[in-house]
């Protein structure tokens, strides 16, 4: 009787252990290949993302499709690959981006020669884009800007962003009060 009871207990531990191992392997795979946490540091993306915001980054979408204009991406900073930055995609591969008189003008590629002034009203609260430059993007380059244009280190300063440095796009934002358990 005692032997049968011990076998049941051991069997129960084995089943629980197997489930725990499978769950752990699944969590590690999801974390390593699909979603990644990111903590916003600094004010370059205000008013849309604030210092201390906890983000979940979708790493798999850009394996299946290219980044689109207006998406917020997390990437390895091209001049120090150990650092992670967050910015908004403004210019796409093959386009020419011109910053002049507080406005951004996009000239299309040879396949789509359309020229237009970028409308950023949905994510910028009346902010102008300072600077005067014209950049022709290569086939795998993006032009990215912070939403807080006055206080952002972005493509206006350090140049275009290579596609290979993009980690993923913002999937979910969790405000600091949920992460830290108190309102900040």
Tell how far CA 44 is from the center of its chain: 13
**Which is catalytic among the residues 44, 152, 155, 160?**
44
SS3 67: coil
164 carries an active-site annotation: no
The secondary structure of residue 29, as a DSSP letter, is H
CA-CA-CA-CA torsion sign (123, 127, 133, 134): positive
SS3 74: strand
SS3 156: helix
Angle at 24 between CA 174 and CA 86, to 5 degrees: 30
87 carries an active-site annotation: yes
**Which is catalytic among the residues 61, 87, 103, 152?**
87
CA-CA-CA-CA torsion sign (107, 108, 114, 119): negative
What residues pair up with 88 in beta bridges, in sequence order? 72, 145
Q: Distance between CA 92 and CA 114 in Å, rounded?
A: 13
The catalytic residues are 44, 87
């Amino acid at each position: 009787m005692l032997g049968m009871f011990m076998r049941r207990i051991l069997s129960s531990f084995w089943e629980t252990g197997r489930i725990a191992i499978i769950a752990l392997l699944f969590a590690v795979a999801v974390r390593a290949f699909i979603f990644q946490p990111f903590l916003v540091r600094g004010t370059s993306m205000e008013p849309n993302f604030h210092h201390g915001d906890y983000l979940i980054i979708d790493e798999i979408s850009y394996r299946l499709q290219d980044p689109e204009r207006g998406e917020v991406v997390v990437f390895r900073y091209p001049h120090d690959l150990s650092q992670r930055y967050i910015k908004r995609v403004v210019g796409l591969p093959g386009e020419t981006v011109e910053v002049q008189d507080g406005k951004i003008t996009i000239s299309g590629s040879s396949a789509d020669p359309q020229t237009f002034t970028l409308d950023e009203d949905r994510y910028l609260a009346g902010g102008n884009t300072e600077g005067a430059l014209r950049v022709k993007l290569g086939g795998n380059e993006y032009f990215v800007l912070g939403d807080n244009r006055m206080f952002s280190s972005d493509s206006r300063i350090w140049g275009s962003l290579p596609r290979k440095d993009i980690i993923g796009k913002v999937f979910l934002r969790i405000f600091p009060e949920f992460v830290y358990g108190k309102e900040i």
